[in-house]
Amino acid sequence: MGAIRRRAVLVGLAAAALGCREVPPPIPEAPGPKEPGQAGESGRAELLAGHLLVTLPAGAIDEPRRTSIMAAPQSTTDESRVVLEGGGPDGLARFVMMASELYLLGSGDLRADASRLVARGERVVELGDAKVPLFVIEPTAEPLPDRPVFVLGAVVGSPDGSLQEVTFFILPEMLEQRAEYADRARAIVKTLAAGPRKLEARGGPASFGKTLEADLPPGFLVTSQPGPDFEVYRARKLTKAGDRGATLGIYLGGHPALQHTQAARDGGPEPPATSEDGTLLEQKTTWVVWTTKEGVKVKETVLKLGEHEAVHVFALAGTDEDLATLMKIASSLRRA
């Protein structure tokens, strides 16, 4: 993930991060997260399904983000969203923390890794007294008007060699208080610690729900995102900061839609595409092949599994080599 892609992801996070269904009370002035072992022990919380730990101020609420009312909540292994302060207009949160699993491996030089992830208008700063290796990302430019305000971030190096990012946002009308909330964010960042969960990408047979399995090469792992009446699984390649990722997605449910079709529904022109005959799960199918405006290579197909269930397999890669690897995984899909 490079700086440009990270900035696009960050803008997307910010757009949805401050909406909340529950409204915790405003945090008292200068709350200062308590250290583990003191009275605030109950405030110790897991992020990213236990990959990171953090000490939270009183009143914080862990509330997954939804991209739409019909979408599944973001997977807890991919993302954690914590409302630190509610009370904003129209039910919006005033202060939110987002933790993101980057699915990146560190290079051994965490400052260099963080520098590859910062976007224009940001800088990397060392933070003392942190419990895990990390570098803070500070904004150096004015935010875009009428957008959630990015106040602070941190790139964390976990003991298993992977990288995570933690970011903090406030409402646009709170811009004059950005420095104060950045101080609060730093206090929380200093409590970050490694959790019991580790990323493992050994490869080998992997399950996609109860019905499908496939063979993964070393360096890949599977994540899941359950929806109300469907499930989405992703076989992800662990890459290094600055490299392009590779993901094989598998949707299981009754209402699949090609991403090529969805791209056209977003208001832009339908991306050019070609088709290729092939097989999936020992059945003939047609693969739709196209490239996003960001240069991501996509190959996808939809196959009926029964009267009310289908599978949508979509490969997303930055290189032809990675796309070929994803298609090899897809060709190994079989019923469990």
64, 83 contact by CB (below 8 A): no
Q: Where in the chain do CATH 2.60.120.1690 domains reside? A: 204-335
Check pLDDT > 90 for residue 90.
Answer: no
Q: Percent of the chain at pLDDT above 90? A: 67
CATH T-level assignment (fold) for domain 3-194: Protein Transport Mog1p; Chain A (3.40.1000)
> For 231-258, what is each residue's pLDDT tens digit?
999 999 999 988 889 999 999 999 898 9
What digits encode the pLDDT tens for the residues 192-232?
999 999 999 999 999 999 999 999 999 999 999 888 889 99
Q: What is the pLDDT of residue 67?
A: 59
| Nearest alpha carbon to residue 150 among 8, 7, 4, 14 | 14
Residue 64 clears pLDDT 50, i.e. is over it: yes
Backbone angles phi, psi at 32, to 5 degrees: 60, 95
pTM metric for this prediction: 0.84
The CATH architecture one would assign to domain 204-335 is Sandwich (2.60)
Residues of the chain with CATH 3.40.1000: 3-194
**Integer Cα distance of 215 and 226 in angstroms:** 21
CA distance linking residue 72 with residue 65, whole number of Å: 9
In this model, does residue 117 exceed pLDDT 80? Answer: yes
Which token pair is 196? 């019991």
